[in-house]
């Protein structure tokens, strides 16, 4: 975990691996040690609402690339969907009566960013990439689950998809900046692939783009997404 001073708030960033069951315990430990007054999670408000409504027996259908990711991640332990660290964050928020808020793009903003950055040819290539990723298995870093997740991200998210992820990082940093004006002790749970960039943005003394976004972002609806 890393701590950053943002505005008048202390932000603790926990980088988690999507799908890895063992990371759920890390979230619980973080909540106990940090005692945050809000938990910020790197999902959209729509995803958070869906997570709250999910039953234990509900299944999430994975696309071909997600299936390959899960199969490779199993090298490090049990894998599940939805991401266990998100379920753990929600459960901890409920049991400790802590607000839990989404910091990722909502569906509308994400769609706009996707259409702006990802070209038609990239979309077509994306749909055929699963088998190719299996053939490139030896190019991934399996030294740790975190290293694998980051190497996977570098391999999968090229060109327009990389720009899309960069915009997600800027958006998440801007929402955290906005939250820091209301909350003094924030625990931000972010997928490991995006965590370093978000921390870097939050650590910069002058991030004009983040500041501009945090000034205009519509946070009111997201701040209503409490447990």
pLDDT tens-place string over residues 68-123: 999 999 999 999 999 999 999 999 999 999 999 999 999 999 999 999 998 877 76
Q: What pLDDT shows up at residue 126?
A: 63
Band (pLDDT 50/70/90 cuts) for residue 136 is confident
Please name which of 2, 20, 182, 33 lies closest in space to residue 101, comparing C-alpha atoms. 182
How far is 163 from 169, CA to CA, in rounded Å? 10
What's the pTM value of the predicted model, to 2 decimals?
A: 0.86
- Percent of the chain residues topping a pLDDT of 90: 71
CATH number of 2-60+81-126+164-223: 3.40.50
Q: What is the mean pLDDT of residues 6-10?
A: 91
Q: What pLDDT shows up at residue 187?
A: 98
Question: How many Cα atoms occupy the beta-carbon half-sphere of 130 within 13 Å?
Answer: 11
Q: Tell me: the pLDDT tens digits for 36-74?
A: 999 999 999 999 999 999 887 677 888 889 999 999 999
* Residue given tokens 């190719």 in the structure block: 132
Q: What pLDDT shows up at residue 206?
A: 46
Q: Tell me: the pLDDT tens digits for 186-222?
A: 999 999 999 999 999 998 754 555 555 554 444 444 4
Beta carbons within 8 Å of 206's beta carbon, 6+ residues apart: none
Per the model's pLDDT, the better-predicted residue between 34 and 127 turns out to be 34
Q: What pLDDT shows up at residue 218?
A: 47
Is the CB of residue 69 less than 8 Å from the CB of residue 58? no
Bridge partners, residue 185, by sequence: 10
């Amino acid at each position: 975990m890393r701590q950053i001073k943002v505005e008048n708030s202390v932000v603790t960033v926990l980088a988690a691996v999507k799908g890895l069951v063992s990371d759920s315990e890390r979230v619980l430990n973080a909540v106990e040690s940090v005692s945050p007054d809000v938990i910020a999670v790197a999902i959209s408000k729509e995803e958070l609402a869906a997570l709250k409504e999910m039953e234990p027996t509900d299944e999430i259908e994975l696309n071909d690339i997600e299936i390959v990711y899960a199969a490779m991640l199993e090298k490090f332990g049990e894998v599940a969907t939805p991401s266990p660290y998100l379920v753990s964050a929600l459960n901890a928020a409920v049991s400790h009566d802590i607000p839990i808020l989404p910091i990722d793009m909502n569906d509308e903003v994400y769609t706009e960013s996707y259409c702006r950055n990802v070209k038609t040819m990239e979309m077509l290539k994306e749909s055929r990439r699963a088998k190719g990723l299996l053939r490139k298995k030896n190019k991934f870093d399996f030294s740790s689950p975190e290293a694998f997740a980051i190497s996977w991200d570098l391999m999968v998210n090229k060109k327009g998809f990389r720009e899309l992820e960069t915009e997600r990082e800027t958006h998440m940093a801007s929402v955290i900046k906005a939250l820091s004006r209301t909350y003094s002790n924030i625990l931000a749970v972010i997928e490991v692939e995006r965590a370093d960039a978000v921390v870097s943005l939050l650590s910069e003394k002058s991030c004009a783009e983040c500041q501009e976004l945090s000034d205009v972002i519509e946070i009111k609806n997201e701040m209503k997404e409490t447990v």
